[in-house]
């Protein structure tokens, strides 16, 4: 009887022999892939410790039965989407699709792991990770890890790692090699992350981990260009990360961002949670192009001024009047604000380059100040308390208007030569519109759902409307 320890070697030899013979016998791609999979020590080691109840194992071979999907675009990476390329094979697609209860492994033609994806309802034993140390991409999501310590220290060429909602994991040991380029970590149970300071080539770090002091080592990673992190209780000075281009912060302390103005390369900044008046004196980087600020207590909003490159500005849940905190923004094109203190739009005239204004659910009663915006094309002021929008008749350059969910009783008559292309005045108490006024909107695409006026129209009139 052949001893068990020799079975793997014999299988490997058989697989290699099949590959050689395959060149002569013209084996199909599927047959060649089967030989590689059979010969692969990686596959053998995985199968030795993988129970049927853990999930469905799938193996694909590059160029034979599977292809490596495109690397996720910068936009997808920056939008907290996939960092790891998908695995495509036999009309199946893995890598965040969550359509299959599967654990697919993508191998090169030498039988080594390249890309491994664990999707929902799979269980991962520690031996599985030790078998795939050759992998360059690993994506573990909505799975169960058997131990509370996930040891990835021996992965010597891992470039992209995504760990999201993997149950039972409290301690993650990152690779010692320091080859990681992109890292996403999310999990309520995670408390310790080792070897973070060794990731000297890290370009992207996205973390949803709260209350883990392990992230204090971020200050040593000078290669970072994109950082998204919850700063609750962390002792991090983001101003020391001089290569940052995009920064998203949740619950920062003032000490975390006091020197953020030093980030000359920073183009995008998002801050969620400023609840102390000390933030009012915060100075911002001069080269910012996009700012998003959320959840700010009254008296805590910093001055948004003297930013010559700023084009996009967003606010959500702000207790201060945002327009009173803005000045000298010569290139601001888009302004978004929702759930902010904004009874009128007084002060918006200081932003003459605005092309799009979206101010929703702010208790606004007067928008007459927008008449001073010569470049405005889109005015979106739904869910406010407006009863007068006559100002739009004085702005023939407007192209799109949304005034739905307000208190309008009528519409203004548009003047000849206007450029308005669409208007939405749904969910307003408008009972009637005179034929003369309605005629001025003849070339405008209109929406008037849930208004007494629209409900009074016949079927044919609605079709013509």
Element (H, E) at 357: strand 356-360
Could you tell me if 390 and 411 are in contact, meaning their C-beta atoms sit under 8 angstroms apart? no
- CA distances (Å), origin 166, targets 53, 132, 142, 146, 382: 17, 18, 5, 10, 40
Distance CA 72, CA 208 (A): 20
Average pLDDT of the residues in 401-422: 97
pLDDT recorded at residue 25: 59
- CA distances (Å), origin 333, targets 138, 188, 354, 407: 39, 38, 4, 28
Average pLDDT of the residues in 34-45: 94
Could you tell me if 342 and 333 are in contact, meaning their C-beta atoms sit under 8 angstroms apart? no
pLDDT averaged over the chain?
A: 89
pLDDT exceeds cutoff 70 at 14: no
pLDDT exceeds cutoff 80 at 6: no
Residue 379 contacts by C-beta under 8 Å, 6 or more apart in sequence? Answer: 357, 367, 370, 392, 398, 400, 401, 402
pLDDT band at 458 (very low <50, low <70, confident <90, very high): confident
The structure tokens 């409307």 sit at 465
Distance CA 461, CA 283 (A): 57
pLDDT band at 12 (very low <50, low <70, confident <90, very high): low
3-state secondary structure of 278: helix
Average pLDDT of the residues in 430-447: 95
* pTM summary value: 0.87
pLDDT band at 189 (very low <50, low <70, confident <90, very high): confident
The better pLDDT of the pair 210, 257 is held by: 257
Long-range contacts of 13-20 (CB under 8 A, 24+ apart): 13/39, 14/38, 14/39, 15/39, 15/40, 15/111
Q: Is 149 exposed, middle or buried (0-12, 13-18, 19+ CB in 10 A)?
A: middle
The structure tokens 């000045």 sit at 327
């Amino acid at each position: 009887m052949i001893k068990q320890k020799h079975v793997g070697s014999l299988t490997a030899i058989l697989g290699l022999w099949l590959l050689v013979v395959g060149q002569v016998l013209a084996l199909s791609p599927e047959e060649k892939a089967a030989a590689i999979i059979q010969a692969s020590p990686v596959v053998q080691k995985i199968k030795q410790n993988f129970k049927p109840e853990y999930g469905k194992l799938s193996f694909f071979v590059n160029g034979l039965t599977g292809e490596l999907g495109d690397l996720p675009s910068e936009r997808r990476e920056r939008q907290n989407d996939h960092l790891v390329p998908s695995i495509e094979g036999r009309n199946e697609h893995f890598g965040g699709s969550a359509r299959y209860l599967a654990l697919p492994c993508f191998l090169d033609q030498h039988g080594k792991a390249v890309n491994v994806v664990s999707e929902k309802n799979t269980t991962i034993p520690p031996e599985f990770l030790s078998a795939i140390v050759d992998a360059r991409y690993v994506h573990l999501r909505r799975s169960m890890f058997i131990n509370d310590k996930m040891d990835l220290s021996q992965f010597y060429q891992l470039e992209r790692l995504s760990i999201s909602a993997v149950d039972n994991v409290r301690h993650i040991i990152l690779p010692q090699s320091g080859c990681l380029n992109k890292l996403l970590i999310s999990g309520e149970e995670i408390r310790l992350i080792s070897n973070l300071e060794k990731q000297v080539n890290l370009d992207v770090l996205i973390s949803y981990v709260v209350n883990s002091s392990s992230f204090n080592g971020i200050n040593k990673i000078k290669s970072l260009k994109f950082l998204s992190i919850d700063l609750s209780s962390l002792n991090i000075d983001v101003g020391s990360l001089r290569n940052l281009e995009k920064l998203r912060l949740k619950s920062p302390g003032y000490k975390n961002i006091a020197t953020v103005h030093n980030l000359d390369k920073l183009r995008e900044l998002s801050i969620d949670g400023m609840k102390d008046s000390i933030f009012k004196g915060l100075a911002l980087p001069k080269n910012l192009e996009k700012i998003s600020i959320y959840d700010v207590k009254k008296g805590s909003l910093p001055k948004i001024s003297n930013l010559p490159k700023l084009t996009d500005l967003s606010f959500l849940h702000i207790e201060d009047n945002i327009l009173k905190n803005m000045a000298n923004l010569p290139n601001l094109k888009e302004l978004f604000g929702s759930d902010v203190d904004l009874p009128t739009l007084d002060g918006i005239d200081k932003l003459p380059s605005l092309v799009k204004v979206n101010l929703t659910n702010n208790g606004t009663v007067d928008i007459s100040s927008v008449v001073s915006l010569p470049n405005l094309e889109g005015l979106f002021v739904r869910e406010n308390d407006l009863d007068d929008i006559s100002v739009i008749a004085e702005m023939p350059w407007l192209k799109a208007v949304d005034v739905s969910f307000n208190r309008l009783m009528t519409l203004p008559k548009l003047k000849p030569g206007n450029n308005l292309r669409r208007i939405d005045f749904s969910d307003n108490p408008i009972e009637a519109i005179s034929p003369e006024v309605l005629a001025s909107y003849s070339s405008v695409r209109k929406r008037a759902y849930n208004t007494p006026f629209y409900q009074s129209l016949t079927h044919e009139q609605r079709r013509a409307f």
